[in-house]
Each structure stands twice: as C-alpha cells, then as structure tokens.
Amino acid sequence: MGSVGKLSLDGVRKSFADTVALDGVSLDIAEGEFFTLVGPSGCGKTTTLRTIAGLESPTDGRVRFDGEDVAGVPTEDRDVGIVFQSYALFPHMTVHENVAYGLNFADPPEGTSVDERVTDLLDLVDLSGMGGREPDRLSGGQQQRVALARALAPEPEILLLDEPMSALDARLRETLRRQIKRIQTELDVTTVYVTHDQEEALAISDRLAVMNDGRVEQVGTPREVYERPATEFVASFVGENNLFRGEVRGTEGTETVVSVDGTEFRVDDGDLAGGDLTFCVRPEDLTVDADTNRFDVAVDTAEFLGETTRYYADWGEQSLVFRSPDPHDTERLTLGFDPDDARVL
C-alpha cells in the first residue's frame, strides 16, 4: 500500500499521556499543493504539523515523504521549512542576518552565494532594501515575511506554516495571505498551512482538511467543502449554515419530502432513504418571498455588513441566519429556499 503524494500520513495517532491529540489521521498531499489544516482550537492541527516536521513522533501510523517512511529522520534532515505563530526572529541580528541564519545548516542552492540568496529572498518577500534593519523596527507582517524568507532559504521541499498570521490584525492578514499565496505559487513548493480561520482556509488553499477532535472530517477543494459538506460539523464550521432535522415522508419525482417540526420541505439532493434526515441551507440561499419551501420567521437582529445584511431570525424554537442585499424593516417575514439548495448531511 504505498502513497502516491509528495507527503502522506497514514493512520497517524498521537497521544500525550491520556490526551489523544490525533486519532488516526490519513492525508495525501500532492507536489506543489497548498494544503490547509483547519479546525477549532485543540483539534490537532499543530500536532499534525509537528509530526510532519519530525518535532513529534507518532504513537502509531506512518508519515511518508515521496513514499518513503520518515520515522526516525530528525527534523534537520527532513528538508522542511517551518514558520511558527510567533516570529521567532533573532532581535540582535539584522534582517539580512536572520535570513542568512536559515543557511547555517544547509547550503544555498547551487551556484548562489549566501548574500545573493538572501538578497533574492528579500526581493521575493517584498523586503528589498530592508536587509540592514533590526527586526524590532519592522511591522508584524514584515517580521513574518522575514521568517518566511528564512524558512525558504535552503529551498525546502516542504513548507510548513503554523498560524503565521494569528498575531496580525485583520487587514494585514488579508494582505499577507495574498503575498504568501503568490510566493507559494511562484516557488511551487508543497505547503501545509495551519489555521483556525475557516475563511482564510477557503481563500488560500488548493485543498483543505477540516479537522475535529483529532480526526479529519473532510478533505476537498474550498468549493467542494463549502458546497458539499460531508458532516454536520463541516457544515457548521465552514461558513455559516442552517441545519434542519426532520423525517422523510416520501418522494415526489426527484424530490424528497421531509417533515421538520410539522412543516413539510422538499429537498432535491440525490436518492434518499427514509427515516431521520438532516439537511442544511446556506444563509445566502434562504431568500425572502421565495417560491418554494416557504415558512414564516420572526426577525430578531439585523447586521448591516455593507454589500449585504445578515439577519438572525426565529423559526419556532430554532434560530436561523440569512443574508439579503435588501433592507427588511418588518418583524415578520416569509423565507424559503430552492429544493436544489438544500444539502443533505
């Protein structure tokens, strides 16, 4: 059973005393891919990354680089570049010296001197001319780009990024994530990125793994994960969602009739067996005065977000969220959705 990817994890488990941090994680990451691990605090993202780096050894399971088991290979021999949450730059060294430090244990690419390599990297991360500065005279985003340049200096096969933007404010994070994505695409370096921010994960990744409680719930492209969540956890964690729990009452053509608290809805999402069924509808797919699947709600709160307004509304015991570009001043509204926009979980 070999793996085909550049980097693969096969049934990786990791326990710390009586805490199970990873409970059988399997992943297959392709060459040049920007792959993200996303999930709530404590779900095992950092432990997965540290296991790939060789900073933790798995209690069970295999990590393979290019199909080769790397068990027992120390971090410095794994050809990985790592950027952590905290910048971890040396304060008494200049930017140039910090980046050059990345070449202390590895040679620069053939035919390049250390100085040339550092200059090229500072160019790449948009910090040309800043080599003589001390890190404390740089912004947080600039410091993280120095850390990135240092990690990239020896031309690693794999780049590992652990929440590199968590200390930055929202605006700066958006800028830096575009820069990271551009640099990654330019170098075509296989990258594993850890974040708890699902929006960031959707924006930056070729594919992502949604993790929960030491396990991988779903792997897919951002669009697949958003449009076809595999589990209730993924449906709720990635983007906002409305879950409806009901019972199948029968079928009409391609549609399944589902009763939720006495209201019948039609959902069109493949062949569905009888019994209990949960489906979800995204806030942008719940629309005011829709033609189908109509029901009345009481609007609770409206948040004006600029291009759209987010409304929280009560439907019986359930709280729902929907978005609309139009202002709605009334307290009672009729919402509905297209049977095609319901996703069965």
Residues that bind ligand ATP (CB under 6 A): 16, 19, 21, 39, 41-47, 196
Closest CB 157 distance from ligand ATP, rounded Å:
23
Whether the CB-CB separation of 342 and 257 falls below 8 Å is answered with no
Measured from the CB atom, the residue of 43 and 118 that comes closer to ligand ATP is 43
Torsion of CA 101, 106, 109, 112, to 10 degrees: 50
Closest CB 197 distance from ligand ATP, rounded Å:
10
Closest CB 192 distance from ligand ATP, rounded Å:
12
Closest CB 42 distance from ligand ATP, rounded Å:
4
> Token pair of 250, please?
């029968």
> Token pair of 264, please?
């019948």
Measured from the CB atom, the residue of 23 and 206 that comes closer to ligand ATP is 23
Measured from the CB atom, the residue of 196 and 282 that comes closer to ligand ATP is 196
d(CA 160, CA 148): 10
Residue 95's closest CA among 28, 41, 149? Answer: 149
d(CA 273, CA 286): 25
d(CA 230, CA 228): 6
Measured from the CB atom, the residue of 147 and 299 that comes closer to ligand ATP is 147
Closest CB 61 distance from ligand ATP, rounded Å:
15
d(CA 33, CA 157): 11
Closest CB 237 distance from ligand ATP, rounded Å:
12
Measured from the CB atom, the residue of 7 and 194 that comes closer to ligand ATP is 194
Contacts of 327 (CB under 8 A, 6+ apart): 309
Whether the CB-CB separation of 151 and 184 falls below 8 Å is answered with no
